[in-house]
Amino acid sequence: MAAIDVTDDEFDGVIANSDVPVVVDFWAEWCGPCKQMSPHLEAVAEEMAGKVKVAKINVDENPMTGSKYGVRGMPTLMIFKDGKVAATHLGAMSKQAIADWIKQSA
């Protein structure tokens, strides 16, 4: 399953109603590292389908969620389990690093 785009309005529902951990990518259009990491995140979303859900939220278009979780730099990845933050990573990662981080944290 590919990564899904979520908005401020949808965010809590996506996180709370998931039966698997949710990896959230907080990104912005102007963020070069975000764009570099995006294909890696999509690949991980496909490979780990059924084990985790991957959601992306554009912080410029949806400022409330990033603010709520204290996101100050891009890209920021967070893993949510049972509706709560289980892990946070700031900065771009390779596909393998993303997969390893998810396996360790989720």
Q: How far, in Å, are 44, 57, 60, 86, 96 from residue 7 at the CA level?
A: 21, 6, 11, 21, 27
The catalytic residue among 31, 52, 79, 102 is 31
Active site residue 31: yes
The catalytic residue among 22, 24, 34, 98 is 34
Which amino acid appears at position 23 of this protein?
Answer: V
Q: Which residues are catalytic?
A: 31, 34
